Each structure stands twice: as structure tokens, then as C-alpha cells.
């Protein structure tokens, strides 16, 4: 055992001596994702809500069968993220920094493991460009620094596609277990990806096309069919909690999901070309931190895809084309949606783009003398454009965890009666971060959807003025015969304490 560890360390040392530039990038990758993590970490309502659920899992109070609600409609994700990240909350002794550090740590470790896969399949030069693009990607740095279910989607969709690529191998392994191992892994990872965000469903066209292609190419129908059954069984097993929830609630989640599309809440009513242009604009904006108009973005995207097909070399593997096709189908599919083009919505294609672009750079850098001058210019511009977006370096931290803890301690001293309730104005502002600490302090308010009558109501006002007595929110409207007892300004939030008027 000792000799084995020594051999590994020796190989790692030799590799680092011959790949000093890559080692430097690895240190920068770690540095940019952990620098000032506590002061800049996002801890708002969604993170507070998730922390409450993780805390209740750890205290054996509740084991959820559903995950976070989606931003459109009453459609819920699976609960994978809660169970996966709960141990980090325990490791940090219920400090909500734990899940944020967990996301950062997993993004680092799994990102570096992805580098070994890229090096193996595409060579070290492609690996270098891939690592460079990943290291300085402002969007991926942002997503890798706080706890939220879509933030792990870039990593999980990459490994889903890699496991699927291994499933497509036309060579049987030495045992049945090894033969279906990657199939089981693929099914699990695809389930996890969908539970992180339903946008992972846009992987399906790519998976279907390559599965049919491989069957037609290899004629290994029986082998691939067995692997497909294993993948479906694994997917079903890890999706079981969500399925049980649907069965127990008359397929509530499935019906709401279908309703979104049937009523046009998700699909865009605008012209497809305009939405495709928006998607291309969003891709360039969040990947390269540059803004083009829709037509320019669409033309550049087409040129980029043509370059992937024409100039990446004739000996590219099936894995490479899997990345290219995933990028194409995701953009085409996502362009059907009416939602905004935010950075986390491009999670399923970040790694695909970095790998294909890195491979293109590697091939052209080796075979084209002009490209050896152009590519370094692009690399420098990419670094400068993303560097300007590194908020962790150029902006002071908000210490949102400390702010939430401080305000919660203040409220703790003002709770003279129970049960009590919390509400926010405007209703779009959340208060899950305060609910978490109040629950940790053993003074939890009523659940947000509780019908129990509260004795006190605290309203967090995020506006200049709030009409707390006449606001139509049901928690406020249901608080009958109310009066304002106290008003405080704490941590930039105006807090109203409402009580019931005493009957004469």
C-alpha cells in the first residue's frame, strides 16, 4: 500500500514538472473559486429555504420526496440536491457556508477530474485550452461559489454525457457487471441532472440520435439493449422519490408540467429566429462576456459550429461529436423557451463548448501558422473580458450569512408572543435566510403556507415605503384587526411588528 501511494505521488510529481502551465492554471482555478468565499457567498431566500430542508433531513425531522419548485408554475424538481448537499451543512456545524463550500469543492474536484478525461481523449494541448477556458470563466466561477441546485448542472451534465459515451462502446467488457457499470452510472447521473434542473431534458435528443446511430453502426443491438435497460432501471431507481410523490398526489407534478406547455407558459410565442438569436446572444454573453446584437450572435454561432465540423480534424472521436451535437440540440431546444437567458440556463453546454473550442484551438494551433498568432490574441481577450466580471475581486463582500444571522438575532429578542409569522414587501422578496437562523435558534415562525393564526406578524419592508396594513398578501390580509406596534431599521431592512388590536 505504501509503495502504491509512493508510486502515485512520484507520477504526479513527474507530471507536474512537465506541465507547469497546467499546474498554475489548477492553482488559479482553486484560488478564484475559494477567494473571499464567506464574504461574497450568496445566502438569500432560496438558500435559506434549502438550508432549512437540509437541517430537517439531518435532524431526522423530515425526508422530502420533492425538491425546489421551478421558477415557472408549481412544478417541483427531485430532492437529490438536498440529500447530496446536507452532509456539508453538518460538516460546518449547521453554518450555511457549508453547502456553498460543498458546491465550490465539488466544482473544483470534479472539474479537475474532467481535465484528466479531456487529456486522455483529446490530448494535453486540448486539455490546456479546456482548463484555461474553465479556470477564467466568470459564469462558472459565479456558479461554483454558492449553494443552488442549478450550479452543479455543468458538472453533472458533462459526466452524464461521458457515461453515455462509455455506454455506447461496441466492445463487451470482461464481466456483466463491468459491461453495465457505465449504463447504471449514466442512468443515475441523468436522473441527478434532471433533479438539478429540468433543462437537462434537452440532452434527450442528443442521447437518442447517438444511441440509434451506434446501433446502426455496430449492429450490437442485444448488447446496447441490455445496457439501455440497465440505464432505465438506474434512472427509475434514483427518480423514485419524485415518482412516489406523484403517485400519492394524483400526478400533481406531471399534470402541472404538462399544463405549462399546453397553456403556453413555457413555450415562446415570439418568432423562433428571434428566440434563437436571443439564445446565441446569451451564450456569447455568459461564456465570453461580450455582447453582440442578435443577428451578429447568430452568424458567429453558425461560423463557430461550422469551424467545429470543418477544422477540428478528421480523427475526432465519438465523444467529440457528442459534445458538438449536445451544443447544437441544446441551443435549438432552449430557443423554444420563453424564459430569460440567464447564466445558469447555459449550464448543460458550458463544458461541451469548452471541450470543442479547446479541441479546435489545439488542432489549428498545431497545423496552422497564422492560428498560432490569432489564438493567443483570443486567449488574452477572453481573459480580460472575464477578468472584468470577477466580482469577488473588484467588489466588497456583503457578508449575507452574517447579515441574516444578525437580523435574526434582533428578531429573536422581539418575539414576545408565539406563534408568529414573517412576511415581506414586495412579495417577490424572500425571507428564507432569516427563517433558517430563527429555526436554528429554536424560535421558528409558522410555515409560510400555515393556516394557523399568528399572534405576531413581522413584515420585512425592502421598499422606501410599505403600506403594511393594507397589503393584499394573504399572510398580511389574514392577520385580522392589526396595528403597527413597532418599527425598526436593521441591516438596511425596515421591520414592522404588527399586533392584534385589543377588543374594548
Of residues 395 and 466, the one with the higher pLDDT is: 466
Could you tell me the three cell numbers for 133?
Answer: 477556458
Of residues 353 and 220, the one with the higher pLDDT is: 353
Reported as a pLDDT band with limits 50, 70 and 90, residue 277 is very high
pLDDT in tens, 132-144: 999 999 999 999 9
Residue whose grid cell is 414586495: 426
Reported as a pLDDT band with limits 50, 70 and 90, residue 2 is low
Q: Mark 57-90 as b/e (b = at least 16 C-beta within 10 Å).
A: beeeeeebbbbbebeeeebbbbbbbbbbbbebbe
Alpha helices in 19-96 (DSSP H): 20-34, 37-40, 45-58, 80-91
Contacts of 353 (CB under 8 A, 6+ apart): 283, 287, 327
Could you tell me the three cell numbers for 31?
Answer: 484560488
Q: Look at residue 247 and tell me whether its pLDDT is greater than 70.
A: yes
pLDDT of amino acid 152: 97
Give the number of residues written for the chain: 504
pLDDT of amino acid 91: 97
Reported as a pLDDT band with limits 50, 70 and 90, residue 268 is low
Percent with pLDDT over 90 in the chain: 69
Q: Look at residue 151 and tell me whether its pLDDT is greater than 90.
A: yes
Could you tell me the three cell numbers for 349?
Answer: 453546454
pLDDT of amino acid 448: 87
For residue 58, CA distances in Å to 52, 404, 445 come to: 10, 21, 20
Residue whose grid cell is 450490437: 220
Q: Look at residue 250 and tell me whether its pLDDT is greater than 60.
A: yes
Reported as a pLDDT band with limits 50, 70 and 90, residue 262 is low
For residue 384, CA distances in Å to 136, 150, 224 come to: 9, 26, 46
pLDDT of amino acid 215: 87
Q: What is the mean pLDDT of residues 278-295?
A: 94
Q: What is the mean pLDDT of residues 166-176?
A: 72
Q: Look at residue 223 and tell me whether its pLDDT is greater than 90.
A: no
Name the pairing type of β-strands 456-461 and 493-500: antiparallel
pLDDT of amino acid 269: 73
Reported as a pLDDT band with limits 50, 70 and 90, residue 26 is very high
* pTM given for the model: 0.92
250: left (phi over 0), alpha (psi -120 to 50) or beta: left
Average pLDDT, the chain: 90
Q: Look at residue 292 and tell me whether its pLDDT is greater than 60.
A: yes
pLDDT of amino acid 204: 96
Q: Look at residue 14 and tell me whether its pLDDT is greater than 80.
A: no
Task: Report how far residue 355's alpha carbon sits from residue 349's, in angstroms, rounded to the nearest whole number.
Answer: 10
pLDDT in tens, 71-101: 765 788 999 999 999 999 999 999 999 999 9
Of residues 70 and 461, the one with the higher pLDDT is: 461
Selection from 151-165, 252-266, 463-477 with the highest mean pLDDT: 151-165
Backbone angles phi, psi at 227, to 5 degrees: -65, -40
Q: What is the mean pLDDT of residues 354-361?
A: 96
Q: Look at residue 370 and tell me whether its pLDDT is greater than 70.
A: yes
Q: Look at residue 16 and tell me whether its pLDDT is greater than 80.
A: no
Backbone angles phi, psi at 142, to 5 degrees: -60, -45
End-to-end CA distance of the chain, in Å? Answer: 82
Backbone angles phi, psi at 500, to 5 degrees: -80, 140
Amino acid at each position: 500500500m505504501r509503495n502504491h501511494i509512493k508510486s502515485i505521488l512520484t507520477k504526479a510529481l513527474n507530471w507536474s514538472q512537465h506541465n507547469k502551465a497546467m499546474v498554475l492554471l489548477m492553482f488559479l482555478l482553486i484560488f478564484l473559486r475559494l477567494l473571499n468565499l464567506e464574504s461574497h457567498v450568496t445566502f438569500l431566500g432560496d438558500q435559506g429555504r434549502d438550508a432549512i430542508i437540509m437541517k430537517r433531513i439531518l435532524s431526522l425531522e423530515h425526508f422530502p420526496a420533492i425538491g425546489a419548485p421551478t421558477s415557472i408554475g408549481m412544478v417541483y424538481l427531485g430532492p437529490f440536491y438536498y440529500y447530496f448537499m446536507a452532509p456539508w451543512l453538518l460538516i460546518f456545524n449547521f453554518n450555511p457556508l457549508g453547502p456553498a463550500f460543498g458546491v465550490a469543492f465539488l466544482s473544483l474536484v470534479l472539474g479537475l477530474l474532467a481535465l484528466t478525461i479531456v487529456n486522455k481523449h483529446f490530448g494535453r494541448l486540448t486539455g490546456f485550452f479546456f482548463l484555461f477556458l474553465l479556470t477564467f470563466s466568470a459564469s462558472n466561477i459565479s456558479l461554483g461559489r454558492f449553494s443552488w441546485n442549478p450550479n452543479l448542472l455543468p458538472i453533472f451534465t458533462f459526466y452524464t454525457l461521458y457515461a453515455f459515451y462509455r455506454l455506447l462502446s461496441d466492445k463487451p467488457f470482461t464481466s456483466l457487471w463491468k459491461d453495465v457499470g457505465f449504463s447504471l452510472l449514466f442512468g443515475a447521473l441523468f436522473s441527478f441532472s434532471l433533479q438539478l434542473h429540468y433543462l437537462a431534458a434537452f440532452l434527450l435528443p442528443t442521447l437518442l440520435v447517438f444511441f440509434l446511430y451506434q446501433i446502426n453502426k455496430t449492429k450490437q443491438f442485444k448488447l446496447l439493449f441490455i445496457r439501455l435497460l440497465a440505464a432505465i432501471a438506474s434512472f427509475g431507481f434514483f427518480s423514485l422519490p419524485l415518482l412516489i410523490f406523484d403517485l400519492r398526489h394524483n400526478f400533481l407534478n406531471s399534470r402541472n408540467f404538462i399544463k405549462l406547455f399546453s397553456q403556453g407558459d413555457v413555450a415562446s410565442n415570439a418568432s423562433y429566429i428571434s428566440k434563437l438569436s436571443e439564445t446565441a446572444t446569451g451564450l456569447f454573453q455568459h461564456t465570453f462576456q461580450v455582447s453582440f446584437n442578435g443577428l451578429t450572435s447568430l452568424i458567429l454561432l453558425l461560423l463557430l459550429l461550422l469551424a467545429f465540423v470543418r477544422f477540428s480534424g478528421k480523427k475526432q472521436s465519438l465523444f467529440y461529436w457528442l459534445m458538438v451535437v449536445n451544443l447544437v440540440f441544446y441551443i435549438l431546444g432552449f430557443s423554444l423557451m420563453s424564459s430569460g437567458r440567464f447564466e445558469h440556463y447555459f449550464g448543460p453546454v458550458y463544458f461541451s463548448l469548452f471541450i470543442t473550442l479547446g479541441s479546435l484551438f489545439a488542432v489549428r494551433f498545431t497545423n496552422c501558422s497564422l492560428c498560432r498568432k490569432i489564438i493567443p490574441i483570443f486567449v488574452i481577450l477572453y481573459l480580460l473580458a472575464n477578468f472584468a466580471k470577477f466580482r469577488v475581486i473588484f467588489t466588497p463582500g456583503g457578508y449575507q450569512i452574517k447579515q441574516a444571522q444578525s437580523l435574526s438575532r434582533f428578531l429573536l429578542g422581539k418575539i414576545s408572543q408565539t406563534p408568529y409569522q414573517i412576511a415581506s414587501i414586495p412579495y417577490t422578496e424572500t425571507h428564507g435566510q432569516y427563517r433558517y437562523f430563527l429555526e436554528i435558534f429554536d424560535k421558528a415562525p409558522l410555515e409560510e403556507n400555515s393556516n394557523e393564526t399568528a399572534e405576531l406578524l413581522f413584515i420585512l419592508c425592502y421598499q422606501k415605503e410599505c403600506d403594511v396594513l393594507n397589503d393584499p398578501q394573504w399572510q398580511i390580509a389574514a392577520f385580522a384587526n392589526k396595528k403597527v406596534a413597532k418599527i425598526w431599521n436593521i441591516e438596511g431592512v425596515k421591520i414592522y411588528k404588527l399586533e392584534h388590536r385589543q377588543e374594548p
